[in-house]
Amino acid sequence: MLTAYTSDEIRTAERVLIERLPEGTLMGRAATGLAIACARALPRVYGSRVVLLAGGGDNGGDTLYAGALLARRGARVHAVLAGSRAHEGGLAALRRAGGRILDLRGAPEPGPAVTDLVGAADLLLDGLVGIGGTGALREPYATLAGLASGAPGVVVAVDVPSGVDASTGEVAGDAVRVHLTVTFGAAKTGLLIDPGASHVGTLHTVDIGIGPHLPEPGVAALGAADVTGLLPRPGAKSDKYRRGVVGVVAGSDRFTGAAVLAVGGAVRAGAGLVRFASAAEPVRQVRARWPEAVTKIVTPEEGVRETGRVQAWVVGPGMGTGDEAFALARSVLDSDVPVLVDADGLTLCARDRSLLRRAAPTLITPHAGELGRLLGVSVAEVEARRLRHARRAADELGVTVLLKGSTTLVAQAGMPVRVNTTGTPWLATGGTGDVLAGIAGAYLAAGLSCYDAASCAAYMHGLAARVAAGGPEGGEAPIAALDVALGLPEAIRRLTAPARG
């Protein structure tokens, strides 16, 4: 499991060690790890052109010391000093190693000399702003960030890309986009959560010894071993009822595809039995595509009372937002089993949030627009502060929240927010959210908590998408939502297969 921490948590842990170790020890560890990572990112160090964008403070010091180490190995190193001050020890070390200095302190803008250096660099280190930076970058940092993002060489962030809030992932203005982020001690929360995560590139952590002094994490990402340990698996005495019966209320005469996809996600994720309840046309479509499902045509007046016993419900995809859909959604949410609410079901809950006040566990799976409607804020506000609003929704609504997007978050009151690390940009296509709802519903019915069901579903959804898209070995191809459902068995097989060799 990958854990992540705020800037304050990292600094507190660092202070414990700083008080016990000789002066400069932590910076030496960080600079050495950074230089090693940079050397690995280059075809060769000797003769390479390295540019350091160094701000003031310890982040600039890490950058300058790492530059000195690279210079000693034969790199041609130029440091651009952009802060109001420079780290004197790092600056002296770089000069002794033969590095050259371009001092911008007091200059209103970088100028053509910097542009030329950046354009010719084989490797550029972004050491402008460290983990304490918040808000928009000021000049000359903002201009330098733009130059760094467009640099033709390998761009490496020192601890955090400048312009990214290390504690939240928020980006207030210009921010550097890098190929590699070398972070010290532990991952920072903002490196895992968009919009900041989209600036990070490959994330590499350098151990500087602070691990034992870190608190319980506020953010975590499950790995393959974690998900493997949580996934429901049938045993020798399992039957379809012990494996979990999930009920799905989805689709309408107008929107039938969502029903087929949600049921498909549940079937392919391993549900013991799927009970599907809806209007006549989606029932016909589900019968044709998924004969395994037990189907029933229902009316808003009767609701789901006579559908049969289930261990969890999925409600919402494609069911519409009119009064009849509202009545049907209420009948599901009045039940005493876990309920996953998705898509149109979330729009209905935004109309009357009392639908979510229930004794049984509730999982909601919104995208930014749906969460914004539930909380009364704009889509842009949710996208800019994803972590904040996922936590707020979990606390305020009393539910578990799976916030979909380029980085999917799972938030539950009193628990670390989980960040999903699987997936592919090809998932940004219609219907994939319906498949995700079915997967999570199957895991709820199998007995996982909302927190674990949401986390495992997001992970497996992303893994199945990679399987469907073809994976990195041969490149990726466009996928449709049904491809994700069909890719689930292979994704599960790959995840749970014993390691070889």
Q: Tokens 């060690």 appear where?
A: 17
Task: Establish whether 237 is an annotated binding residue.
Answer: no
Q: Tell me, what amino acid is at 135?
A: G
Task: Establish whether 58 is an annotated binding residue.
Answer: yes
Task: Establish whether 433 is an annotated binding residue.
Answer: yes
Query: Across-strand partners of 314?
Result: 248, 340
Token pair of 380 as six digits: 């842009």
Q: Residues with Cβ < 8 Å from 71, sequence gap 6 or more? A: 50, 77, 94, 97, 98, 99
The DSSP symbol for 260 reads: H
**Taking the alpha carbons of 180, 181, 184, 187 in that order, is the dihedral positive or negative?**
negative
Kindly give the pairing relationship between strand 409-411 and strand 400-403.
Answer: antiparallel
Task: Establish whether 56 is an annotated binding residue.
Answer: no
Task: Establish whether 354 is an annotated binding residue.
Answer: no
Task: Establish whether 106 is an annotated binding residue.
Answer: no
Q: At what angle do helices 481-496 and 450-469 cross, to 10 degrees?
A: 100
Task: Establish whether 239 is an annotated binding residue.
Answer: no
Task: Establish whether 7 is an annotated binding residue.
Answer: no
Task: Establish whether 280 is an annotated binding residue.
Answer: no
Q: Residues with Cβ < 8 Å from 212, sequence gap 6 or more? A: none
Task: Establish whether 238 is an annotated binding residue.
Answer: no
Task: Establish whether 136 is an annotated binding residue.
Answer: yes
Is residue 158 within 8 A of residue 34, CB to CB? The reply is: yes
Q: List the one residue out of 427, 443, 458, 485 whose CA is nearest residue 314.
A: 443
Task: Establish whether 296 is an annotated binding residue.
Answer: no
Q: φ, ψ for residue 81 (rounded to 5)?
A: -90, 115
Task: Establish whether 162 is an annotated binding residue.
Answer: yes
Task: Establish whether 362 is an annotated binding residue.
Answer: no
Query: Across-strand partners of 313?
Result: 247, 339
Task: Establish whether 434 is an annotated binding residue.
Answer: yes
Q: Tokens 């959804």 appear where?
A: 461
Task: Establish whether 258 is an annotated binding residue.
Answer: yes
Task: Establish whether 352 is an annotated binding residue.
Answer: no
Alpha-carbon distance 228 to 182, whole Å? Answer: 28
Task: Establish whether 407 is an annotated binding residue.
Answer: yes
Task: Establish whether 405 is an annotated binding residue.
Answer: yes
CA dihedral 341, 345, 346, 348 (to 10 degrees): -140
Is residue 269 within 8 A of residue 232, CB to CB? The reply is: no
Task: Establish whether 420 is an annotated binding residue.
Answer: no
Binding residue ranges: 58-62, 126, 130-136, 141, 159, 162, 258, 318, 367, 404-408, 433-434
Binding residue ranges for (6S)-NADPHX: 58-62, 130-136, 141, 159, 258, 318, 367, 434
Binding residue ranges for K(+): 59, 126, 162
Binding residue ranges for AMP: 404-408, 433
